Amino acid sequence: MNITGILIAAAIVGIVGIFVGLFLGVAGIKFKVEVDEKEEAVLSVLPGNNCGGCGYAGCSGLAAAIAKGEAPVNACPVGGEAVGAKVAKIMGVSAESTGRKVAYVHCQGDCEKAGVDYDYSGAQDCRMMAFVPGGGPKTCNSGCLGYGTCVRECPFDAISVINGVAVVDKEKCKACGKCVAVCPKHLISLIPYEAKQVVACSSTDKGPVTMKACQAGCIGCGICVRNCPSQAVTVTDFHAVIDQEKCTGCGICAEKCPKKAIVKA
């Protein structure tokens, strides 16, 4: 190839490069997506876990919703009040105090206390129990199955299965709610971090049925209701419920409970 051919080829490549560059530049200006500065600022202070506990598709989804006024400034359960305060400052509003919450597994039916109807050796996934007889091998239809679906779902390593029952480490828990959503028995709830007493049972069966299924199940006897000095305990569907706003943490309900179904949170 002679020098003329090389120069012509180089010129063609250079001209094509210039046209491509001009095209991309014009296209970039024409199709430029305007970025909301507040949205970017909010996203920068969010923790970045993308856990979905806020109900949006990750932190970017929440940031966009907050910037548009579609979500409260303290909607991030992981960041808590500290992040809520920063977001509120960016948005120029005040953040209401929500109080820290943690997940709690309302069950004490471990391998010693809960009855078992049969041996199970199938898939180790609590959600699969909907397809097996009796909803699982445990006699109590409301008890923790202990196969760790919530453990695998938790992005903060805050849950472990101990002796057949899931247990939450309240110091690690960020209240993202993923375990609450995935539990097929619906026995995990978010409670105040400062909660003093909690009913560690989810059964709504009548007393005699519960006693046959578990040694630590709530039988709905009402002794806790009659002995609570602050009227914080009620019984609905044979199951005790504690109003955490009324509870003073005196511990009388736990002391009087004949099945020890009320424990320290």
Find out whether 188 and 180 touch, Cβ atoms under 8 Å: yes
pLDDT above 70 covers what percent of the chain? 92
170-224 pLDDT, tens per residue? Answer: 999 999 999 999 999 999 999 999 999 999 999 999 999 999 999 999 999 999 9
Per-residue pLDDT, 253: 97
Domains and CATH numbers, the chain: 38-91 (1.10.15.40), 100-194 (3.30.70.20), 195-265 (3.30.70.20)
Check whether 119 has a pLDDT greater than 70. Answer: yes
pTM summary value: 0.77
Q: Which of 203, 172, 202 is nearest to 189 (CA)?
A: 202
Tens digit of each residue's pLDDT (9 = 90 or more) over 22-46: 767 766 666 555 567 888 899 998 9
Contact 238, 210 (CB under 8 A): yes
Asked if the model's pLDDT at residue 100 lies above 90, the reply is no
Cα–Cα distance, 225 to 234 (Å, whole number)? 6
Please classify residue 249 by burial: count the beta carbons closer than 10 Å to its beta carbon, then call 0-12 exposed, 13-18 middle and 19+ buried.
middle
Question: In angstroms, rounded to a whole number, what is the distance separating the alpha carbons of residues 141 and 133?
Answer: 11
pLDDT at position 264 is 93
What's the CA gap between 137 and 114, in Å, rounded?
10
How confident is the model at residue 35, as a pLDDT? Answer: 61
Residue 5 binned pLDDT confidence (cut-offs 50, 70, 90): low
- Residue 204 CA to residue 25 CA, distance in Å, equals 66
Q: Highest mean pLDDT: which of 42-46, 130-134, 252-256? A: 252-256
